[in-house]
A and B are shown apart, each in its own frame.
Chain A
Amino acid sequence: EPEVTQTPSHQVTQMGQEVILRCVPISNHLYFYWYRQILGQKVEFLVSFYNNEISEKSEIFDDQFSVERPDGSNFTLKIRSTKLEDSAMYFCASTDGGALGGYTFGSGTRLTVV
């Protein structure tokens, strides 16, 4: 079964550093998303991406964040100048834009900012 793959599974970084979280969506999918889940809290929408541009973003997704699809397979989330409160699980998701059953999440990257 096709999967959304995220790397690394766990990233530890010092406060103020930049991190890049990587995702490989399902190959024929067209829409890509990043969500985060702070420990014990709900899954929160960050950004959606279609046709090489951001289609929607939440209030959380400020200038500290950026997304990129550098090639035909990867979809990255960059967090500049990380803060302690950025510690969370970050999930990538992709869909072909069709039935909801095609909306697939990756296993997540656990980001720990120390």
Chain B
Amino acid sequence: QKEVEQDPGPLSVPEGAIVSLNCTYSNSAFQYFMWYRQYSRKGPELLMYTYSSGNKEDGRFTAQVDKSSKYISLFIRDSQPSDSATYLCAMIAGNQFYFGTGTSLTVIP
């Protein structure tokens, strides 16, 4: 069983849509939960991080963590073409990051 599961997509939405990206995990030791955005041929760029169950908002982005279900989500409101990228969830246990496979998102103008 993989540590972190993420649907690779691809996901294609019209501009202005609400996007929902999700990951599940199996390791109860994960303490921090992150979402990274990765543009083609670039390194992952941190979008948001949280360590507790609940919601965290930052502009158009909302990160949601449900530790009881071992489920995390990233919501993007009013999606823009510039949001087109691969979105990776990541979690920390000890000194290591564990990444999902990434979901490829295309926002169509």
Contacts and interface: CB of A to CB of B under 8 A. Distances in A.
Contacts of A91: 43-44
A44 interface: yes
Contacts of A58: 96
A4 B95 CA distance: 19
A17 B88 CA distance: 32
Interface of B: 4, 6, 32, 34, 41-46, 49, 88, 90, 92, 94-102
Contact of B46 (A9, A55, A101): A101
A100 B49 contact: yes
B72 to A, nearest CB: 15
B53 to A, nearest CB: 17
Interface residues on A, range: 20 to 34
Nearest to A102: B46
Contact of B95 (A43, A48, A106, A108): A48
Interface in A19-44: 33, 35, 41-44
A45 B34 contact: no
Contact of A100 (B43, B46, B88, B99): B46
B27 to A, nearest CB: 14
